[in-house]
Amino acid sequence: MDEVERSEPVDDLRSEPLVSVEITGLSLYTHHGVEAAEREVGQRLVLDISLDLADCDAAITDRVEDTVDYADVCQEVAFAAQERSYRTLERLCAAIGARMLDRYDAETVTVRATKPEPPIALPVDEVSVEVSTERA
């Protein structure tokens, strides 16, 4: 077998890493739901957020300033989830995702909202909705 000659060093062939930052199990008391009673009384939601960062220099620099602040992400998600009421979890997840895209310059944001005690007449552990939003 013939050896293929490389014109570039191997290090030059590596692309910048795609970093995924995930927060799971953020538990918040919110007022979302189809029924007026759900929106009035409220209930606990559990949120999982994943941000894909194409330009995350922290993988190279090891500097906290070059990535997203997890505590800040949690605060922003809490604010977005509690500032107004939505009828559907789909709309809530989309609103959170849009805010995360704008604030953190992420390429893709995935938000999963789970109702651990859904108001359903049949036995069910939980219901969830997941929405992924990409930068245009």
Q: Is 40 a catalytic residue?
A: no
Which position has the token pair 């590596």?
A: 14
Cα angle vertex 42, ends 68, 98, to 5°? Answer: 30
CA distance linking residue 97 with residue 113, whole number of Å: 11
Q: Which DSSP state fits 18?
A: P
Give the active site residue among 76, 115, 131, 133.
115
Q: Which residues are catalytic?
A: 115
